[in-house]
Amino acid sequence: MRKFLIVIERAGKNYSAYSPNLHGCVATGSTREEVEERMHEAIELHIKGLVEDGLPIPKSHASAAYVAVQ
């Protein structure tokens, strides 16, 4: 099993998401839950395409942290 970080952003009335490790792999949805589901599907399709094209699956190298400032 592989894990990939996804970044979810509020985009007006919708949400968008992307993975820093999988360039071009994006999704949108009307709720946070919907965009997470769609991003899961997008990652599966993206990896399937890489495998079919004989390309390597990138290793997950991204991480996230919050920084508190005043």
In this structure, how many other beta carbons lie within 10 angstroms of the beta carbon of residue 16?
17
pLDDT tens figures, 43-52: 999 999 999 9
Q: What is the mean pLDDT of the chain?
A: 95
Count structural domains, the chain.
1
11 inside domain: yes
CATH number at residue 36: 3.30.160.250
18 inside domain: yes
27 inside domain: yes
| Contacts with 23 (C-beta within 8 Å, 6 or more apart), sequence order | none
64 inside domain: no
68 inside domain: no
What is the span of the domain harbouring residue 43? Answer: 7-52
58 inside domain: no
pLDDT tens figures, 3-62: 999 999 998 999 999 999 999 999 999 999 999 999 999 999 999 999 999 999 999 999
